[in-house]
Amino acid sequence: MNELLETIINSSKELIGSGVKILPGLLTALILILLTRYAAQFITQLATQVGKRTVRSKSLQLLLSKTCYITVWVVGVLIACVAAFPGLRLGDIIATLGLGSVAIGFAFQDIFKNFLAGILLLLQEPFRIQDQVIIGDYEGTVERIDIRTTKIRTYTGEQVLLPNATVFTSAVQVRTAFNSRRTDLAVGVDYNTVQQLSSSYQTNPTAVQSAMSIVGNYTRSALRKKRSTQGEQQAQQMINQFGGTQPSTQAVQMLFSAPQIQQIVQEVGSKTGINSQTVQRMLPLLVPLVLNFLKTGTNSQNPLGSNSVLSGFLDADGDGDVDIADAMQMATRYLNR
């Protein structure tokens, strides 16, 4: 019995002694991990500043900062392991990592796949930060490419996290890849209005509808310019003043210059087959009709306040064009009146 107790006591002493011997190494490793954390933050900030000064691409700036962050952590953890276990050599750690890499790869294959896809996205730059993209069923602005996901902010203010591997293997439509692009806007009017116009000017109803769409595009450009130079209230005031079903030469002159009027007449004539004189006679009526269409979103209690139809028409989501959804929504509201 005494021998058993003595064996237990000696074993306990050895364990305590081994623990005391290891304790300084463990404390040193813990201190190194804490220092690694602050060093990683400092190096990341430094790399971000250097990247902003030397690299124009935001994607490459992000890649540089992430690479520095991960590198500092890997080096810090390896040094901490050596400090915690003095008998452990760096070669042993690398060998252990090599043996365990297969198991780790199977366990974290999705993470590694998304990580590598994120690096490739940052290097190849199929799209850039702040580009507006369509990926699958999601559409919005690219805000960030992280280690595992790509963050997209939709036009409705929601955040979507897409796995990098999904983004990398999916078809991506980049809406802001070029400085300009063509947009066709269909401005709808009810059947009776089209018939009345076609009867009055002895033209085809389809041609009248096409003329309305062309005038709508030019009106949009004119109102956007007025909004950017004079404010949205001035654009709304013009809509309130001239929107209606009666001809108004003043509305045409307020919106368009003489060269622009001539350009509209030529484009309508070439695309619809309506002769120039008829187009010039139709224009004072087509412009008020378009403005009347935008007038449907006016707040009756605050005529100069927010107008949802006007905002959609002038592209409130800021992507540089009128979306199909915007046009459908505006047309629906107009036709249901």
What does 180-202 look like in DSSP terms, one character per residue? ------PPP--HHHHHHHHHHHT
Q: Are 100 and 93 in contact (CB under 8 A)?
A: no
Q: What is the DSSP letter of 248?
A: -
Residue 247's pLDDT is what?
A: 85
Average pLDDT of the chain? 76
Looking at 2.50.20, 1.10.287, 2.60.40, 1.20.1530, the CATH number of the domain 17-107 comes to: 1.10.287
Calpha distance 114→62 (Å, rounded): 16
- Which residues make Cβ contacts (< 8 Å) with residue 293, sequence separation at least 6? 187, 189, 216, 243, 309, 330, 334
The proportion of the chain whose per-residue pLDDT surpasses 70, expressed as a percent, equals: 72
> To the nearest 10°, the Cα dihedral for 77, 79, 84, 90?
110
- Comparing 220-229, 287-296, 317-326, the range with the smallest average pLDDT is 317-326
Look at residue 174 and tell me whether its pLDDT is greater than 80. yes
- pLDDT range class, residue 162, cuts 50, 70, 90: very high
DSSP 3-state of 153: strand
pTM reported for the whole predicted model: 0.41
Residue 96's pLDDT is what?
A: 62
Look at residue 124 and tell me whether its pLDDT is greater than 70. yes
* Across 97-109, average pLDDT: 58
Q: Are 279 and 269 in contact (CB under 8 A)?
A: yes
pLDDT, tens digit, 9 for 90 and up, residues 222-261: 888 888 888 878 888 888 888 887 888 888 888 888 889 9
Calpha distance 298→303 (Å, rounded): 6
Domain(s) of CATH 2.30.30.60: residues in the chain: 123-174
Give whole-number Cα distances, 197 to 14, 189, 247, 259, 278, in Å: 103, 11, 12, 25, 11
Domain(s) of CATH 1.10.287: residues in the chain: 17-107
**Highest averaged pLDDT of the listed ranges 9-23, 115-129, 142-156, 317-331:** 142-156
CA atoms within 13 A on the CB side of 212: 26
Residue 276's pLDDT is what?
A: 87
Start-end of H helices in 125-204: 164-169, 191-201
Calpha distance 265→277 (Å, rounded): 9
pLDDT, tens digit, 9 for 90 and up, residues 4-27: 666 666 666 666 666 666 677 778
> DSSP string covering 287-331, please?
HHHHHHHHGGG--SS-TTS--HHHHHHTTTT-SSS--HHHHHHHH
* Across 287-310, average pLDDT: 75
CATH of span 123-174: 2.30.30.60
